[in-house]
Chain A
Amino acid sequence: MNAHLQPTGSAYFLTKDTQEIERHTLSVLVDNEPGILARVVGLFSARGYNIESLTVSETEHGRRLSRITVVVIATPKVLVQIKLQLERLVPVHKVHDLTAEGASLERELALIKVAGSGDHRAETLRLADAFRAQIVDASVESFVFEVTGKPAKIDSFIALMQPLGLVEVVRTGLAAISRGPQGM
């Protein structure tokens, strides 16, 4: 109904009004100050948004800036709200929706502990090689692998390790950056 009245300069454009749920990766540039993570996480819980993954670390020590990568699942309307609500927080500098803005790279790192002996051990090593997983710790009955890549790749490596003596997994959560020469 409102579609014919869209372009209004710098103001926000109407998003599609659908109830379809989408998965988006947001990159949030924030002041690295005490409580900033609580502010961001508190916003999500207070307003009932879903976080699928969240990573945070200082990225520019000089300017005391941290970058938060957060993966959210929501309808397009809620996604716009999440972005605007994040921007409303005083220590938030910028919010970029990497999924909406075009090509981006997404990577995750996992440490995976597998215990076993005999044939299982040999099979484990063959698969680790195929996935370019590094051995970062080894004992006579176990390995710890370090594997990086898209979350889907890590998912499948973990699934393959399951029957071969998977003990435990730790994952960093997603780090993402846009392709091309532009920065945030």
Chain B
Amino acid sequence: MAERMTGAEMVIQALTDHGVEHIFGYPGGAALPIYDAMFQQDAVQHILVRHEQGATHMAEGYARSTGKPGVVLVTSGPGATNAVTGLTDALMDSIPMVCITAQVPTTLIGTDAFQECDTVGITRSCTKYNYLVKRIEDLPRIMHEAFLIATTGRPGPVVIDIPKDVQFAMGDYYKPDLDTLRHQSYRPQMDGDSAAIEAAVELMLKAERPIFYTGGGVINAGPEASEHLRELAELTGFPVTSTLMGLGAFPASNPQWMGMLGMHGTYEANLAMHDCDVMINIGARFDDRITGRIDAFSPHSRKIHVDIDPSSINKVVRVDVPIIGDCARVLSEMVRVWRSRTNQPRTEAIAPWWKQIEKWRAVDSLGYKNSDTVIKPQYAIERLYAASKRQAKDVYITTEVGQHQMWAAQHFHFDKPNHWMTSGGLGTMGYGLPAAVGVQVAHPDALVIDIAGEASVQMTMQEMSTAVQYRLPIKVFILNNERMGMVRQWQDLLHGSRYAHSYSESLPDFVKLAEAYGGKGIRCDSPAALDAAIEEMLDYDGPVLFDCIVEKDENCLPMIPSGKPHNEIILPDTANIGDIIDEKGRQLV
């Protein structure tokens, strides 16, 4: 049934039809008709941001914590270019997002009009797909297609660029219809090949040193995928590790959990990856933060790789059994096939392997030397974790990018999927504060904490104002070491401790800054006062900036230096990290 309406009304109608309740945006000249249509309805609530990058990260936090697509609305020109960082971030981390950008009227396109930019050209390589809507007739189909493409297969951001005259034009609106929507050339493969799944289980049944290496794909495949992973881990008795993006899919409280792997992963997870004989990669992509030196990566293992994106297979690491499909469906099939073969976990056969893992575990690679006089960043996160566990609320953590991010991944523990939001692929400083706003919009009663660094958080600090406006009680827990800590650490490693521009000078007074925004500020610089200060933060019903003054020169360890294999990991007791990396490693990032 077609309904007559304007393009702007179609946008709002399509959002409603796709179940969108919140949209993050910023108005501007070219977007005014859509804003006018929004003004006249109540179904979709608009969150006014302070910068378009903030809108995109909010949408990411919203999407990651709900499984629903995050929706962004920005104006033409600078509105669109400001959104590019968040779009790229969403592409790298496979976050479903629909970003509507307004455009100058079709008659002005190409004339270098005011606030004109080539949005589809600029965003072509940082979106899963993008559209320029030139005719009102195409708008309903494109709106529906955009949601389909953003949320299915390997999720990602989709941009819809809508010129102002198309927003004003009258046309026929059709509701989404899955049959007509079946895109001719876009057909993601959901079910894994059954022969490949059989072959994978066959390998697992003979494994003596197996390991599950899971990633963000398990989170993206929905809560069922995490359930199936837990079931399969229990059935097999195999150890489990995960990438940064996959934390929470498997409970950190489970004895089979080995901690995160990769550049700042645990000793046991990385050595188990190196020495395993069967590696089962579920929804991870052999990222360079994980593999270290490729030609020395897990040299003795047969590798199974489950991924919904065929181009991830054999891209960096050659695998023996590739399975293309949705993690939830493939995991459930693996469970079924395993059950059809045996009722027993391989407890006895892999007992020596577990014994070896326990030895590695005993090294306590996340250990650190605590202090009575200065707050160690690891200690701060441990205390934050302990305090948050006492809360009756659901706890969501977002982070910025750097040392604090890795410490959070190491020392905050997650038992549920969708509760950990971080910028993994792109490594976007400034992600965490707006992401926390997005999470809090989706979960108004939850405790949402951005674990931040004092450098990162200043990149999108203005979104505090958004949090205050919408009464979103986010907690920004800043580990303040007056350094861009990870940069400083790399300068120690690679550049003779010459700290070129890696320290934060002229820092704002975060307490006063919080108050200026209308939130609460708390400062703490003593380990003895930390617990009480954290309680004060958690008890406050409103946004808080917590300025946690920590040890300035702490290194984030363990660490696999660039160009090194997993078994050459640097442990916390290493005295001088400056002598470890050779000339070749220095070239890497």
Residues of A within 8 A of B (CB): 2, 5, 7-12, 14-15, 17, 30-31, 34-35, 38-39, 42, 46, 77, 80-81, 84-85, 87-88, 90-93
27 A-B contacts (beta carbon < 8 Å): A2-B318, A2-B320, A5-B302, A5-B320, A8-B321, A8-B322, A9-B194, A9-B195, A10-B193, A11-B196, A11-B321, A11-B322, A12-B314, A14-B320, A17-B318, A31-B185, A35-B120, A35-B132, A38-B121, A42-B124, A46-B125, A77-B318, A90-B128, A90-B129, A90-B149, A90-B186, A91-B185
B311 at the A interface (CB under 8 A):
yes
Q: Which 9 interchain pairs have the tightest Cβ spacing? A: A9-B195, A84-B311, A9-B193, A8-B196, A93-B185, A90-B129, A5-B320, A11-B322, A11-B196
CB < 8 Å neighbour of B195 from A8, A15, A46, A87: A8
Task: Point out which of A15, A39, A77, A88 has the most chain B C-beta atoms below 10 A from its C-beta.
Answer: A88
Given the complex of chains A and B, what is the CA–CA distance between A35 and B125 in angstroms? 12
- New A-B contacts (18) at CB < 8 Å, excluding given A5-B203, A8-B322: A2-B318, A5-B199, A5-B302, A8-B193, A8-B323, A9-B195, A9-B199, A10-B193, A11-B196, A12-B314, A14-B314, A14-B318, A17-B318, A31-B184, A77-B318, A87-B311, A88-B310, A90-B129
Residues of B within 8 A of A (CB): 120-121, 124-125, 128-129, 132, 149, 183-186, 193-196, 199, 203, 302, 309-311, 313-315, 318-324
Interface pair A38/B302, CB less than 8 Å apart: no
Given the complex of chains A and B, what is the CA–CA distance between A34 and B121 in angstroms? 11
Given the complex of chains A and B, what is the CA–CA distance between A11 and B330 in angstroms? 14
Given the complex of chains A and B, what is the CA–CA distance between A5 and B124 in angstroms? 38
Cβ-closest chain A residue relative to B120 = A35
Given the complex of chains A and B, what is the CA–CA distance between A81 and B132 in angstroms? 28
Interface pair B125/A12, CB less than 8 Å apart: no
Interface pair B315/A11, CB less than 8 Å apart: no
Residues of A within 8 A of B128 (CB): 90
Given the complex of chains A and B, what is the CA–CA distance between A39 and B199 in angstroms? 37
Cβ-closest chain B residue relative to A14 = B318
Interface pair B186/A85, CB less than 8 Å apart: no
Interface pair B309/A88, CB less than 8 Å apart: yes
Residues of A within 8 A of B193 (CB): 8-11
Cβ-closest chain B residue relative to A81 = B315
| Given A5-B320, A31-B185, A92-B185, residue A39 in contact with residue B309 (CB < 8 A) | no
Cβ-closest chain B residue relative to A4 = B320
Shortest Cβ distance from residue A109 to the other chain B in the assembled complex, whole angstroms: 29
Residues of A within 8 A of B199 (CB): 5, 8-9
Residues of B within 8 A of A85 (CB): 311
Residues of A within 8 A of B195 (CB): 7-10
Given the complex of chains A and B, what is the CA–CA distance between A90 and B158 in angstroms? 11
Residues of A within 8 A of B321 (CB): 5, 8, 11
Residues of B within 8 A of A39 (CB): 124
